[in-house]
Amino acid sequence: MKIDFQHNVAAHCENGVTSNLLKFYGINLSEPMIFGIGSGYFFSHMPFIKLNGMAVTSFRVWPGMIFKRVTRRLGIRVKRKKFRNQENAMRELDKMLDKGIPVGMLVGVYQLPYFPREYRFHFNAHNITVFGKEGDRYVVSDPVMENVETLSYDELKKVRFAKGTYPPSGRMYYIAEIPAEVNVKSAIIKGIRKTAKDMLTIPVPMFGIDGIRFLARRMRKWPAKLGEKSAALNLAQVIRMLEEIGTGGAGFRFIYAAFLQECAEVLQKPWLNELSREMTGIGDQWREFAILAARCFKNRDKGQTSYDQLADMLMNIAQREEKVFLQLQTIDL
Amino acid sequence: MKIDEVPQDEAYMIKGKIRDVCYALDKDGHYTSTLSMGWKPKNEAIGLAWEEVYHRVEEVRQQVQAGRLSPLAFYMELNIMNPSILASYTGIHRWKVRRHLKMKYFLNLKQEVLEKYAGALNITAAELVDTKRIQTVVLKHED
């Protein structure tokens, strides 16, 4: 049994799942649009949450937020479920598939057999859509893969109940009801405003523009505080969050630039084109940061000077992003 | 980033098995999505992370040979786990997992406990207790 579902690749898994699910119900939105309306753009550096034993730096919102916000802003009703019992989680999934409903779900990538070994760390915020069951194998649309994949019952159960930082606990979600008409324009405005607000005004220094500055200040101290080796590993982890699978380049900054460009047309606001160009520049600067960082953690030659230089770059990026969002927060229809 | 600047540096582990979607500007300045084979700074960051994993596994391997740590410790590191992840996969208390990492305690484990660990580590219980097998594990990525 297989639902007639179209698999499309995307830069980021959650955008991809959301976009593919909406397409199934006849709403066509590009990946940048999904990302922008869902206010996916963010920055956080959280020393108290650990991944591979190091602080988590993230360039986007919590997993699940994009889907939640996009559907809410378009007036789409969704159902989400979380399970304690693994068999129940699988039974629920089978039930939905029998009804012909494609189901999005959160999985861990470590045990995902079709994933390249290179990417298989204990990372638990990957999204896939399951849209069929043929014999014992579930048919899976993973936006990161170019082709449709399949998983056995046990394999799927294992990834749905992966353990570690932020365990997925069998979380699944699907669309319950679509309104007769969706208002994309107002959804865009809400999406942009939320991003601007989160980037500018969260009063905790770990998030938004302040988060970038926070990371810069901490980075300066890494070589002295952690030693050369650990500093290098921490830096490499930031680069992986920035560039590893699913950011579309430069930690989502290019996707957001694409979104602003599309908005300029949809909303008839040419000034957004200017901001899109600036955002592209910011993305390019993040890439320069990555190049310098890679040189730094690979050779470890100049030590403190390179960390100072990297921190200065981050400060500069923070200032540029701040300017963009100060303008964006005033957007209106 | 312009479309002709999208990096195509082949990563050493994936060899083109997977390509990332990247957003870049075409010659008219419009954003479009395109596929990238990989990018050197990113590949190096991932490579460094794996190097560190293998370095730690190698250290544990020597400790197992010396009879201080158990094979469980070796496979835990190999699977990039720590005692709390292993504890949540198996349902065994974390303090007990920590204990079982030592050879002294590991030797007295019951078969059913071994089965639980083996299940979480994707090997069989027989493989888990076979200390010779540890020598044969190659710490390198297959090409």
Q: Kindly provide the ipTM of the predicted complex, given to two decimals.
A: 0.84
What is the least distance, in Å, from the CA of A157 to any CA of chain B? 13
CA dist., res. A60 & res. A248, Å (int): 12
B91 neighbourhood in chain A, CB within 8 Å: none
Q: At what angle do helices A65-73 and A13-24 cross, to 10 degrees?
A: 30
Q: In the A/B pair of chains, how many CB contacts fall below 8 A?
A: 125
Please state the φ and ψ torsions of residue B111, each to the nearest 5 degrees. -55, -45
pLDDT of A12: 86
Domain boundaries defined on chain B: 3-38, 44-136
pLDDT beyond 50 at B56: yes
Listed as ranges, residues in chain A with pLDDT below 70 are: 245-246, 248, 300-304
Q: At what angle do helices A271-299 and A228-243 cross, to 10 degrees?
A: 150
Whether chain A has a CB inside 8 Å of the CB on B1: the answer is: yes
Residues of chain A numbered 64-123 and touching chain B (CB < 8 Å): 110-111, 116-119, 121-122
pLDDT beyond 80 at B34: yes
Domain boundaries defined on chain A: 13-37+77-177, 184-328
Report in angstroms the alpha-carbon separations of A287 from A152, A250, A253, A309, B16: 39, 6, 10, 14, 22
pLDDT beyond 90 at B33: no
pLDDT of A166: 81
pLDDT digits (tens, 9 = 90+) for A176-221: 988 888 888 899 999 999 999 999 998 989 999 999 999 999 998 8
CATH of A13-37+77-177 given 2.40.50.140, 3.90.70.10, 3.30.70.1560, 1.10.287.4070: 3.90.70.10
Name residue, tokens 């108290």. A48
Whether residue A34 contacts residue A18, with contact meaning beta carbons closer than 8 Å, is answered with yes
Highest mean pLDDT among A55-59, B1-5, B35-39: A55-59
pLDDT of B11: 63
pLDDT of A139: 93
Residue B49 and residue A258: Cβ atoms within 8 Å? Answer: no
pLDDT of B143: 42
**Interface with chain B: mutation pick from A118, A119, A275, highest number of B CBs within 10 Å:** A118
CA dist., res. B97 & res. A242, Å (int): 34
pLDDT of A303: 67
CA dist., res. A304 & res. A326, Å (int): 33
Q: Which of A47, B78, A289 is nearest to A297 (CA)?
A: A289
pLDDT digits (tens, 9 = 90+) for B68-122: 999 999 999 988 888 988 999 999 999 999 999 999 999 998 999 999 999 888 8
Q: Which fold has domain B44-136?
A: 434 Repressor (Amino-terminal Domain) (1.10.260)
